[in-house]
Amino acid sequence: MQQLDLVIYNETGLHARPAKTLVNLAKTFESDIKIQHGAKKVNAKSMIKVLTLGVKKEGRITVEIDGADELAASVAIEEAVVSGLGETVNHPSSNGHSEAAASETPSNGHAKPELKANELQGVAASPGLACGPVVRWTESEFDIPTDHQGEAAELEAFNDAVVKTQAQLEALVVKVTKDLSAEEAEIFEAHLEILGDPELQNTVKEQIKAGKNGAQSWHAACEEQATALSQVGDELLAARAADVRDLSGRLLSHLLNQPQNSRVLHQPSIILARDLSPSDTASLNKNMVLGFVTSEGGPNAHSAIIARAMGIPAIVSLGEGLDSIGDDATIVVNGTNGRVEINPSAESLAIVKAEQAKIAEKQAAMLAMAQDFAKTKDGVRIEVFGNGGSAADSELCKQNGAEGIGLLRTEFLFLGKEEEPTEAEQFETYSKILEVMGDRPVVFRTLDIGGDKPVPYITVPNEENPFLGERGVRLMVNHYPEMLRTQLKALLRAYKESGASKMAIMFPMVGQLYEWHSARQHFNDVAKELGVDTKGIELGIMIEVPSAALNAPAFAAEVDFFSIGTNDLTQYTLAIDRQHPTLAGKADGLEPAVLHLIKLTAEAAHEAGKWVGVCGELAADPAATKILIGLGIDELSVNNNAIPALKDRIRQCTKTECEAVAQKALRLRSAADVRALT
Ligand code: PEP
Ligand code: MG
């Protein structure tokens, strides 16, 4: 047996993210691994159990590893804990500055003016000021049956609900990653982790065998874990109880076939609720939700983290005061000092409005300029497009100044569905997107699925390395050509019937010429079959695989454009899984090796008279703007929130200066050196 005595230096202890990293790592070993903290010893492969240890910053843990691969496990676990379990940590011996992992929480301030009679004090959770009518959200309550359909039937129904919940969460991870960030998506990855927790699953199955039905067993097991988490006496862990309850409701809604409460708002409002589940928060429509106030929860709850990412003012932990707010009240939410003002006076409202104006001033200035083209100081226009997955996203992009959609991820129509969307459904969605964008061009990316983004109607043989297997266009042309043709038909029909003058289609994950040739052949066949004139349609490929960048001249001769997917290009160039629990932070698109591939791609495109864009996350990275412009990128496509600031940055520099910065960057030795340069 191996034993390790370790100290956790993570800022917030062994909370969700580092715990998940540790649990995932433990699961890769056969050995039995236990973690002890104080008097409690738990299975290191159970996320919930590890969380209930309540290890805080500078907490000591003892890891006991017993089994065939104990030595390898001990080395890996020690290294992972010391290097911060995916977070930057400040060891007492190091001089480094720790980077706060979560977004900064707003301060409650010290010297606050006295509360007015119509004010309530809560805990500030997401800064900013909001004012508007309230809407009270109640929680979904499930009618949990007491009958038992027999062990086999109960187990089958439970397993079925687990599979559906898993598919829904996987789709949510993809959506939140694209809409917000990978950091917020980790919340739902943690839900997936809890869902698959061996201890939780075993408890439920044992209860079913002992005579309880699936819903009773699951509900009881989750409540037990949630209560255990809230009793550790740690604010951060108490917030995780909301995650367990959120997951519990999600699975129950599948198991009992009862919908969770509808969360549709009919006018811009401020939400009042006991607590918002992370799922509720992630699905908030930013245009309709002005802010939210909860009676429970804390500033570290995932709902608060998501609110900060979305820029929605929020207050938590208002207590019973929440019930004193009338259903027809108008309130002011001050997410910076944690105060709620009920039915503010005209004078108060005027102050709030002035304050709101000041806060919004900078953003407004950038937004006001966002519909104009972005030109460098020496007059070079860089096209700024938006990334999205739906008509709603496209609308947001347009409002924020997108000159078109540079990456329309069509997989959102496919993920989380039990069956493949029909041609008619696809036609309707694509038509809506074209309608929203009007004369602004849309680049539709064909289905990029498989491997890491599974759907039930696509079966890929088990692969050791899904990222290197059947995914993207390869999966389509090799195994599902009919699915690709259906999609192309829907796209071509939407184009034809919308009367759009321009549209673009690009294929993902192209690495070799045959994949592009095969996809293009399907496109030509379908266009012929439908009799569509394709003159206004550009056909391009994503450059996400190093071979495509290195062979760019061959592709450039045949395609209409390139769009560089730096997320995957970085992953494949550095051989680092973009979701790797400990290494993903090192997958930096500013690594000189990646920059050289971008340079080759841009040169090849321009030599052939074609345009080249970047639609991966690097396009929105402030440190990359000058370099990408300097490397000759014509179009940058980013999430809607990033558009106004990107245009602002473009206007602050000259192309000549960008070229000089890019040349310097290409000669540097690491991403860190490049970041230091910009
Ligand atoms: C990319 O890989 O950079 C990209 C934009 O595609 P996705 O993130 O959808 O894989
Ligand atoms: Mg990609």
| Pairing mode, strands 381-388 and 635-638 | parallel
Same domain, 522 and 391: yes
| Residue where one domain finishes, among candidates 340, 365, 390 | 365
Per residue in 521-561, pLDDT tens?
999 999 999 999 999 999 999 999 999 999 999 999 999 99
pLDDT given at position 641 = 79
Q: Pinpoint the alpha helices (H) of 499-563.
A: 513-530, 546-550, 552-556
Are 200 and 282 in the same domain? Answer: no
Q: Can you give the CATH number for the domain in which 345 is found?
A: 3.50.30.10
Q: Reply yes or no on whether 302 is catalytic.
A: yes
The CA distance from 180 to 640, in Å, is 10
Domain check: are 443 and 351 in the same one? Answer: no
Are 316 and 428 within one domain?
A: no
Given pLDDT bands bounded at 50, 70 and 90, which one contains residue 233? low
Does 274 fall in a domain?
yes
Rounded to the nearest angstrom, the distance between the alpha carbon of 246 and the centre of ligand 1 is 29
Residue 667 has pLDDT above 90, yes or no: yes
- Given the CA of residue 387, which atom of ligand 1 is nearest to it? 5
Q: Are residues 325 and 242 in the same domain?
A: no
pLDDT at 104: 35
List, in order, residues 6 or more apart from 667 with CB less than 8 Å away: 592
CB atoms under 10 Å from CB of 203, counted, come to: 18
495 and 402 assigned to the same domain: yes
- For residue 540, the CA-to-ligand 2 centroid distance in Å is 14
Which residues are within 8 A (CB) of 132 and not within 5 positions of it... i.e. 6 or more apart?
Answer: 268, 269, 270, 290, 291, 330, 331
- How many structural domains does the chain have? 4
Q: Is 97 a catalytic residue?
A: no
Q: Give the range with max mean pLDDT: 22-36, 123-137, 479-493.
A: 479-493
Inter-axis angle of helices 70-82 and 16-27, nearest 10: 160
CATH number at residue 222: 1.10.274.10
User: Residue 397 pLDDT > 80, yes or no?
Assistant: yes
Mean pLDDT of the chain: 87
174 and 123, same structural domain? no
Q: What is the pLDDT of residue 95?
A: 35
Position with higher pLDDT, 575 vs 450: 575
Of 302, 397, 522, 658, which residue is the catalytic one?
Answer: 302
Inside any domain, residue 112: no
* Distance, CA of 155 to CA of 59 (rounded, Å): 40
Kindly give the distance from the C-alpha atom of residue 542 to the centroid of ligand 1, in angstroms, as a whole number. 9
Q: Does 321 reside within a domain?
A: yes
Q: At which residue do the structure tokens 């009042």 appear? A: 272
Q: Is residue 626 part of a domain?
A: yes
Name the domain boundary from 206, 232, 255: 255
In this structure, the answer to whether residues 611 and 482 fall within a common structural domain is: yes
Q: How far apart are CA 133 and CA 391, in angstroms?
A: 27
The reply to whether 630 and 614 lie within a common domain is yes
Q: Is residue 98 part of a domain?
A: no
Q: Which atom of ligand 1 is nearest to the CA of 568?
A: 2
Is 298 found in the same domain as 251?
no
Q: Which of 131, 222, 397, 615 is catalytic?
A: 615
- Give residues whose Cβ lies within 5 Å of ion ligand 2: 544, 565, 568
User: Which residues, 6+ apart, have CB-to-CB distance to 661 below 8 Å?
Assistant: 626, 627, 630, 677, 678
pLDDT at 569: 96
Domain that residue 236 falls in: 151-255
The predicted-structure confidence for 317-327, as pLDDT tens digits, reads as follows 888 899 999 99
Please tell me the pTM assigned to this model.
0.59
- pLDDT at position 103 over 60: no
- Quick check: 109 pLDDT over 50? no
311 and 181 within one domain: no
For residue 84, the tally of other CB atoms under 10 A from its CB is: 21
Minimum CA distance residue for ligand 1 atom 10 = 568
How many whole angstroms separate alpha carbon 85 and alpha carbon 102?
Answer: 14
Report the distance separating Cα 112 and Cα 119, nearest Å. 13
Domain membership of residue 181 (yes or no) is yes
Among 365, 400, 425, which residue terminates a domain? Answer: 365
* DSSP secondary structure, 217-229, as one string: HHHHHHHHHHHHH
Residue 589 lies in a domain: yes
Q: Are residues 466 and 334 in the same domain?
A: no
- CATH number of 607's domain: 3.20.20.60
CATH number at residue 11: 3.30.1340.10
Is residue 106 included in any domain, yes or no?
A: no
